[in-house]
Protein backbone atom coordinates (compact mmCIF):
# COMPACT_ATOMS: atom_id res chain seq x y z
CA UNK A 1 0.00 0.00 0.00
CA UNK A 2 1.23 3.52 -0.77
CA UNK A 3 2.58 5.52 2.17
CA UNK A 4 -0.11 7.66 3.76
CA UNK A 5 -3.00 6.20 1.76
CA UNK A 6 -5.76 4.15 3.31
CA UNK A 7 -6.92 0.96 1.63
CA UNK A 8 -10.12 2.73 0.55
CA UNK A 9 -8.18 5.60 -1.05
CA UNK A 10 -5.88 3.14 -2.79
CA UNK A 11 -8.78 1.15 -4.27
CA UNK A 12 -10.63 4.31 -5.34
CA UNK A 13 -7.50 5.61 -7.08
CA UNK A 14 -6.97 2.34 -8.95
CA UNK A 15 -7.61 1.95 -12.65
CA UNK A 16 -10.73 0.36 -14.08
CA UNK A 17 -10.48 -3.41 -14.45
CA UNK A 18 -13.50 -5.36 -15.68
CA UNK A 19 -12.37 -8.29 -13.53
CA UNK A 20 -13.38 -6.20 -10.49
CA UNK A 21 -17.04 -6.19 -11.57
CA UNK A 22 -18.93 -8.51 -9.23
CA UNK A 23 -21.38 -9.86 -11.83
CA UNK A 24 -21.04 -10.49 -15.56
CA UNK A 25 -24.76 -10.13 -16.11
CA UNK A 26 -27.85 -9.97 -13.92
CA UNK A 27 -31.39 -9.15 -14.95
CA UNK A 28 -32.85 -5.70 -14.40
CA UNK A 29 -34.05 -5.02 -10.82
CA UNK A 30 -32.24 -8.12 -9.53
CA UNK A 31 -31.42 -8.00 -5.83
CA UNK A 32 -27.72 -8.38 -5.02
CA UNK A 33 -25.84 -9.13 -1.83
CA UNK A 34 -22.20 -8.97 -0.76
CA UNK A 35 -20.98 -11.27 1.99
CA UNK A 36 -17.85 -10.27 3.90
CA UNK A 37 -17.33 -13.06 6.43
CA UNK A 38 -14.13 -14.91 7.23
CA UNK A 39 -15.57 -17.93 9.05
CA UNK A 40 -16.68 -20.52 6.44
CA UNK A 41 -19.59 -21.85 8.53
CA UNK A 42 -21.00 -18.34 9.03
CA UNK A 43 -20.48 -17.47 5.36
CA UNK A 44 -22.34 -20.65 4.29
CA UNK A 45 -25.31 -19.96 6.56
CA UNK A 46 -25.54 -16.32 5.44
CA UNK A 47 -25.22 -17.37 1.80
CA UNK A 48 -27.97 -19.99 2.14
CA UNK A 49 -30.29 -17.48 3.85
CA UNK A 50 -29.74 -14.81 1.19
CA UNK A 51 -30.13 -17.37 -1.58
CA UNK A 52 -33.49 -18.42 -0.08
CA UNK A 53 -34.50 -14.73 -0.11
CA UNK A 54 -33.72 -14.57 -3.85
CA UNK A 55 -30.49 -12.55 -3.85
CA UNK A 56 -27.64 -12.86 -6.35
CA UNK A 57 -24.67 -13.36 -4.06
CA UNK A 58 -21.07 -12.23 -4.27
CA UNK A 59 -18.50 -13.07 -1.61
CA UNK A 60 -15.34 -11.16 -0.81
CA UNK A 61 -12.12 -12.87 0.18
CA UNK A 62 -10.64 -9.80 1.90
CA UNK A 63 -11.27 -6.09 2.40
CA UNK A 64 -9.50 -5.10 -0.83
CA UNK A 65 -11.70 -7.52 -2.80
CA UNK A 66 -14.86 -6.19 -1.11
CA UNK A 67 -13.95 -2.57 -1.79
CA UNK A 68 -13.21 -3.31 -5.44
CA UNK A 69 -16.59 -5.00 -5.82
CA UNK A 70 -18.36 -2.12 -4.08
CA UNK A 71 -16.57 0.40 -6.28
CA UNK A 72 -18.58 -0.55 -9.38
CA UNK A 73 -21.81 -1.94 -7.92
CA UNK A 74 -24.25 -0.73 -5.27
CA UNK A 75 -25.38 -3.84 -3.45
CA UNK A 76 -28.88 -4.10 -2.03
CA UNK A 77 -27.53 -6.00 0.98
CA UNK A 78 -24.08 -6.11 2.59
CA UNK A 79 -23.39 -8.59 5.38
CA UNK A 80 -20.15 -7.79 7.19
CA UNK A 81 -18.32 -9.52 10.00
CA UNK A 82 -16.78 -6.79 12.15
CA UNK A 83 -13.52 -8.78 12.25
CA UNK A 84 -13.41 -9.25 8.46
CA UNK A 85 -9.78 -8.89 7.34
CA UNK A 86 -8.80 -6.96 10.48
CA UNK A 87 -7.68 -7.62 14.03
CA UNK A 88 -9.28 -4.41 15.28
CA UNK A 89 -13.02 -4.01 14.53
CA UNK A 90 -12.65 -0.24 14.92
CA UNK A 91 -10.43 -0.13 11.82
CA UNK A 92 -12.57 -2.29 9.52
CA UNK A 93 -12.01 -0.87 6.03
CA UNK A 94 -15.30 -2.17 4.61
CA UNK A 95 -17.29 -0.68 7.50
CA UNK A 96 -15.41 2.62 7.01
CA UNK A 97 -16.42 2.56 3.34
CA UNK A 98 -20.09 1.99 4.26
CA UNK A 99 -19.94 4.81 6.80
CA UNK A 100 -18.48 7.15 4.19
CA UNK A 101 -21.10 6.55 1.49
CA UNK A 102 -23.39 9.39 0.54
CA UNK A 103 -26.81 9.20 2.16
CA UNK A 104 -28.46 8.82 -1.26
CA UNK A 105 -26.44 5.66 -1.88
CA UNK A 106 -26.61 4.36 1.67
CA UNK A 107 -30.43 4.58 1.82
CA UNK A 108 -30.62 2.15 -1.10
CA UNK A 109 -28.53 -0.39 0.80
CA UNK A 110 -29.20 -2.64 3.78
CA UNK A 111 -26.09 -3.30 5.87
CA UNK A 112 -25.86 -5.90 8.63
CA UNK A 113 -22.92 -6.27 11.01
CA UNK A 114 -22.06 -9.59 12.60
CA UNK A 115 -20.61 -8.80 16.02
CA UNK A 116 -20.18 -10.73 19.24
CA UNK A 117 -20.06 -7.46 21.22
CA UNK A 118 -23.73 -6.59 20.73
CA UNK A 119 -27.08 -8.36 20.96
CA UNK A 120 -28.94 -9.32 17.81
CA UNK A 121 -31.26 -6.55 16.61
CA UNK A 122 -29.85 -4.00 19.07
CA UNK A 123 -30.97 -0.79 17.37
CA UNK A 124 -28.69 1.52 19.36
CA UNK A 125 -25.64 -0.61 18.52
CA UNK A 126 -26.69 -0.61 14.86
CA UNK A 127 -27.00 3.17 14.95
CA UNK A 128 -23.63 3.50 16.68
CA UNK A 129 -21.91 1.30 14.06
CA UNK A 130 -23.79 2.97 11.13
CA UNK A 131 -25.51 -0.21 9.98
CA UNK A 132 -29.16 -1.23 9.72
CA UNK A 133 -28.91 -4.40 11.80
CA UNK A 134 -26.58 -6.11 14.24
CA UNK A 135 -26.44 -9.91 14.38
CA UNK A 136 -24.74 -11.76 17.21
CA UNK A 137 -23.01 -14.97 16.02
CA UNK A 138 -24.91 -16.90 18.73
CA UNK A 139 -28.04 -16.35 16.62
CA UNK A 140 -26.50 -17.34 13.29
CA UNK A 141 -28.75 -20.42 13.03
CA UNK A 142 -31.72 -18.04 12.75
CA UNK A 143 -30.04 -15.79 10.18
CA UNK A 144 -32.76 -16.31 7.56
CA UNK A 145 -35.56 -15.07 9.80
CA UNK A 146 -33.44 -12.24 11.19
CA UNK A 147 -32.41 -10.99 7.73
CA UNK A 148 -35.92 -11.29 6.33
CA UNK A 149 -37.32 -9.19 9.16
CA UNK A 150 -34.52 -6.62 9.00
CA UNK A 151 -34.71 -6.22 5.22
CA UNK A 152 -38.51 -5.97 5.27
CA UNK A 153 -38.32 -3.31 8.01
CA UNK A 154 -35.76 -1.39 5.94
CA UNK A 155 -37.94 -1.54 2.81
CA UNK A 156 -41.03 -0.43 4.72
CA UNK A 157 -39.15 2.41 6.42
CA UNK A 158 -37.88 3.89 3.14
CA UNK A 159 -40.86 3.01 0.91
CA UNK A 160 -42.45 6.48 0.93
CA UNK A 161 -39.07 8.16 0.57
CA UNK A 162 -38.21 6.12 -2.55
CA UNK A 163 -41.70 6.64 -4.02
CA UNK A 164 -41.32 10.41 -3.65
CA UNK A 165 -37.92 10.28 -5.35
CA UNK A 166 -39.50 8.46 -8.29
CA UNK A 167 -42.42 10.92 -8.48
CA UNK A 168 -40.07 13.88 -8.53
CA UNK A 169 -37.78 12.24 -11.10
CA UNK A 170 -34.77 11.98 -8.82
CA UNK A 171 -34.62 8.18 -8.49
pLDDT reported for residue 19? 58
pLDDT reported for residue 114? 98
Q: Name residues of the chain where pLDDT drops below 50.
A: 1
CATH assignment of 27-167, among 3.40.50.2300, 3.40.50.1240, 3.40.50.720, 3.60.15.10 = 3.40.50.2300
Q: For the chain, what is the HEC assignment?
A: CCCCCCHHHHHHHCCCCHHHCCCCCCCCCCCEEEEECCCHHHHHHHHHHHHHCCCEEEECCCHHHHHHHHHHCCCCEEEEECCCCCCCHHHCHHHHHHHHCCHHHHCCCEEEEECCCCCCCCHHHHHHCCCCEEECHHHHHHHHHHHHHHHHHHHHHHHHHHHHHHHCCCC
pLDDT reported for residue 1? 47
Extents of the domains making up the chain: 27-167
pLDDT reported for residue 166? 83
Amino acid sequence: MDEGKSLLEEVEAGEYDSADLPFDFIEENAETALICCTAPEVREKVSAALNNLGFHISTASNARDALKKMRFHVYNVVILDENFDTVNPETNDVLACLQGLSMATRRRMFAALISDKYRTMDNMAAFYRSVNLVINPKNIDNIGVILKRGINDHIAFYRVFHEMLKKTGRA
